[in-house]
């Protein structure tokens, strides 16, 4: 079975319900059972936090799963320069995806695009909001014809 990868994107502020958490858990577990081993995280917002929580719970049952944090700043590859909230025990690896732009907001957008490019499946929690970074990532993934699961609808 080929190893697959997944990334997550959603709005910064969401209403977390038991139903959403259950859907995310069942979807992620199904992906693991179908060869998904690598989960990429960007870590900005409530949906990202929920995804990390769910994958971390699944990691207890499926220890081969890898949680990889995709940094938006190359300085954060150095452990002593990394934000305090990024703890080593929460991820198996920290990576920096080489990006074309160096302004903070654009850096986040291009990091998201690089995560999508590396992913076989992308789980979204996004509604159509033109100014939303999550929605911009969704449009990019559609343009790249990626396998998309949107838990919002």
The domain that holds 113 is classified in CATH as 3.40.50.450
For residues 9 and 150, give the distance between their C-alpha atoms in angstroms, rounded to a whole number: 9
Q: Which domain holds residue 143?
A: 4-150
For residues 34 and 91, give the distance between their C-alpha atoms in angstroms, rounded to a whole number: 22
pLDDT tens digits, 99-144: 665 555 577 888 899 999 999 999 999 988 878 888 999 999 999 9
Residue 57 sits at φ, ψ, to 5 deg, of -65, -40
For residues 30 and 75, give the distance between their C-alpha atoms in angstroms, rounded to a whole number: 35
Q: What's the predicted TM-score (pTM) here?
A: 0.91
Structural domain count of the chain: 1
pLDDT tens digits, 36-76: 999 999 977 899 999 999 999 999 999 999 999 998 888 88
Q: Pick the closest to residue 51 from 112, 115, 7 (CA basis).
A: 7
């Amino acid at each position: 079975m080929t190893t697959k990868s997944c990334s997550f994107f959603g709005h910064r502020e969401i209403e977390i319900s038991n139903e959403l958490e259950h859907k995310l858990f069942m979807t992620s577990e199904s992906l693991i059972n179908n060869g998904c081993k690598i989960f990429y995280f960007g870590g900005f917002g409530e949906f990202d936090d929920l995804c990390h929580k769910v994958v971390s719970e699944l990691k207890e049952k499926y220890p081969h799963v890898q949680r990889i944090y995709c940094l938006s700043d190359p300085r954060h590859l150095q452990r002593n320069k990394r934000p305090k909230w990024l703890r080593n025990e929460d991820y198996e690896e920290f990576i920096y995806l080489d990006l074309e732009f160096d302004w903070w907001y654009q850096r986040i957008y291009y990091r998201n695009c690089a995560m999508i490019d590396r992913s076989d499946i992308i789980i979204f929690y996004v509604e159509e909001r033109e100014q939303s970074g999550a929605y911009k990532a969704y449009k990019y993934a559609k343009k790249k014809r990626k396998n998309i699961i949107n838990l919002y609808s």
